[in-house]
Structure 1
Amino acid sequence: MPDIPPKLTEIVDDFASAPRDVVLEMLLEFSDAVPPLPPELTGHDGMEQVPECQTQFFLRAEVQPDRTVRTWFDCPPEAPTTRAFAGILAEGLAGATADEVLAVPDDLYQRMGLATVISPLRVRGGTAVLARLKRQVREQADDRPR
């Protein structure tokens, strides 16, 4: 079983070891790290909505021929906590393979210690984002040779 991407491991460790007041600042930084959507995805064409999130959240994962995964996320800037989930995944999974994405633990946000600083409803939304992302990767990875 492959490990999760090193960059995501680093992010998880940084959050898990940070004092509570610093965690909120870190979340705000990641909310600013979400890359803009390319023109072909504006209007969320081809993106999946995550209804478990309290705010509108859209995502798309694409497994490339070399089995690396490209991700796109969109949610409004006025939802910094939810947007931070997108920033964490965008940065932590950049360049990851399908197997690495699928190895990300489902309780990622609990491991980061976020359950102590944000509401359970927001943690559930972030967990749903990860689950939908992994489902998209799993469905596409089955069609790609190893």
Structure 2
Amino acid sequence: MALPAKLQAVLDLIRSLPQELKAQVLLEYAKKVPTPPPEVELERVPECQTPFFLRAEVEGGGVRLYFFVPDEAPTVKAFAGLLKEGLEGESPEAVLAVPATFYRGAGLEELLTPLRLRGLEAALLRLQEQVRHAL
């Protein structure tokens, strides 16, 4: 199954950039992560060394995402922004169909350490687990 169009567009943008601009654009996604409302109960992604909290809910047939990552961790916060940009509002089925290694081929492997990429995978898997539970 193909990736959701918004997620594919994000990856295509990153893929199209020269190496020196990839990090800069990735960090722009960190700025797109709003603070979640206080009533939203977030779950920590324990596989991430940096504090990374998330909540996925299903509302009206679409997935709603909430994240909290400290501003002092902009690269990790960029992962949250990338997931939010690419998956917010998608159907639960589309979110559940995203493979853990969805980022491969976009050039993130050259930019980020394997440990950081595993954290991104873990965040997606935790998000998918919450979507399954919501269904």
**Aligned mates of 1:115, 1:97 — CA distance in 2:** 28
Q: How far off is 1:139 after superposition? A: 2.2
Q: How far off is 1:4 after superposition? A: 2.8
Bigger Cα Rg: 1
Tell me whether 1:73 sits opposite 2:72 in the alignment: no
Q: Secondary structure at the residue paired with 1:39?
A: coil
Q: How far off is 1:63 after superposition? A: 1.2
The residue type paired with residue 46 of structure 2 is P
The residue aligned with 1:56 is: 51
Equivalent runs, 1:1-146 vs 2, <5 Å: 3-41=2-40, 46-64=41-59, 66-141=60-135
**Aligned mates of 2:93, 2:105 — CA distance in 1:** 20
Q: How far off is 1:17 after superposition? A: 2.2
The percent identity for this pair of structures is: 49
**Partner deviation per Cα, 1:20-53 (whole Å, 9 max, x = no partner):** 1111001110111101111213xxxx22101111
Unaligned runs of 5+ in 1: 142-146
**Aligned mates of 1:69, 1:77 — CA distance in 2:** 24
Q: Higher mean Cα deviation, 84-93 or 102-111? A: 102-111
Unaligned runs of 5+ in 2: none
- TM normalised by structure 2 equals 0.93
Q: Secondary structure at the residue paired with 1:11?
A: helix
Give the length in aligned residue pairs. Answer: 135
Q: Is the 8 A contact 1:27 1:80 kept in 2?
A: no
Q: How far off is 1:98 after superposition? A: 0.3
- TM normalised by structure 1 equals 0.86
